[in-house]
Amino acid sequence: MTVCKTEGAGWGKAEVKPYGPLEISPRAGVLNYGQGVFEGMKAQRTEDGRIVIFRPDKNARRVRYGCERLCMPPVPEDTFVESIKSCVLANANWVPPCGKGSLYIRPLIIGTGPILGLAPAPSYTFLVYVSPVGSYFKGNQLSPIKLKIEHAYSRAAKGGSGGIKAVGNYAASLLPQTIAKKEGFDNVIYLDASEQKYLEEVGTSNIFVVKGKKIYTPALKGGGDPMDTILEGVTRDSVIQVAKDAGYEVVEDRVPFTLLKEADEAFTVGTAVVVSPIGAVTYKGETWSWKFEEGAGPATSKIYSTLTGIQTGKVPDPYGWTVYLD
C-alpha cells in the first residue's frame, strides 16, 4: 500500500509499504468524529496485457473538495495520482487478466491525529490499498438487478455532505440496504429528503432512466456544492458524454420516481458496478420491471460496451480518459 502523512501544514512524501494494520490513537479524529473521505477506482488489463487506470484526475478533484468540506488539508493532485500509480504497480501481479475482473483501488484520507474536543484533527494520513474484484452484484456484469425505492430513510439533505465521498455517509445506508437485501432486493434507490418524490441515487451508484432517445439523470452542481445531495460520479460524467455521442439527449434535472413507470429501461452506474441494468423496481408493493433477451436494454448495452471498451483499450479513447501505467 502507499502511505503519506502530513508534515506541518502540507503533505510529506508518499511511500510504498507492505500492507498491514495502522497504528492510531483512540482519540483519532476519524474514529471519534468521522473526519475522513475515500475514493473508489479500478486498474484493469487491456487485451495486450497492459495496465490502465481511468480518469484519476477526476478522483483527485473530488478528493480535494471533499477534504475542504471536512476541514482536512487537500492532497495535491500530483501526489494523489502518483500514489495511485505506485500502489497499482507494486501490486501488478494482482491485476486480473482482461475480462476476468479488475484491481479495485481504495484511496483514503483520514484524520489520524488525536483530538478529544470537536475540532479538526492535528494531523492526517493519506493511504492507498488495493484488492482484486469481480462483478459487484451477483451474476455477470449485465445481470439485471432488483431495487427497492426507499421511503422510510433518506441518504442526504441539502446543506449536508451528500455531495462528497465522506466516510460517514455510508454507515447510515447500511440498515436500509440490509433490510432491502433481506426482502430479496439487491439495493435501494433513495428519494429526495424533503418531498420524497424525486430520484437521488442508488446506495452505491448514480441512476439513469431511458425513455425513447432521452436519458434522464438527477442533476447536480458539482465541485462539492453544499446544495448537492448526490455524488458527482466519475462514471456518471463519463456515461453522460458517451450517451450524448451515441445520439441520446441527456436530461439532467429533477427526475420524478414515477418516470420509472413509463421508462423503456433504466440502469445504474459507478466505479464498482460499472454499468448495471435494472430489471425491476418496487415502491410500496408496486413493481415495474423490464426484460431483455441479453439482460440489458439497447441503450444500457451500447453505453456499457463503449465505456468498458474504452477502459480496457478494446475501442479507441477519443476523450483521453485512460492512463497507461506500463
- For residues 225 and 231, give the distance between their C-alpha atoms in angstroms, rounded to a whole number: 10
Q: Taken in order 88, 94, 99, 104, is the CA torsion positive or negative?
A: negative
- For residues 88 and 52, give the distance between their C-alpha atoms in angstroms, rounded to a whole number: 10
Angle CA(257)–CA(259)–CA(262) in degrees, nearest 5? Answer: 140
Query: Exposure of 90 by Cβ count < 10 A (0-12 exposed, 13-18 middle, 19+ buried)?
Result: middle
SS3 of residue 240 by DSSP: helix
Please identify which of the residues 165, 244, 284, 291 carries the catalytic annotation.
165
DSSP structural state of residue 198: B
The neighbouring-strand residues paired with 274 are 270
Residue 244 backbone dihedrals phi, psi, to 5 degrees? -60, -45
If one counts every other C-beta atom within 10 angstroms of the C-beta of residue 46, the result is 15
- For residues 318 and 153, give the distance between their C-alpha atoms in angstroms, rounded to a whole number: 41
- For residues 188 and 191, give the distance between their C-alpha atoms in angstroms, rounded to a whole number: 10
Contacts of 151 (CB under 8 A, 6+ apart): 191, 196, 283, 284
Alpha helices in 10-50 (DSSP H): 29-33
DSSP structural state of residue 34: -
Question: What grid cell was written down for 196?
Answer: 420524497
Cα separation values, 231 from 84, 121, 203, Å: 21, 25, 11
Contact 208, 189 (CB under 8 A): no
181 is known as an active-site residue:
no
Contact 103, 44 (CB under 8 A): yes
Task: Name the residues annotated as catalytic.
Answer: 165
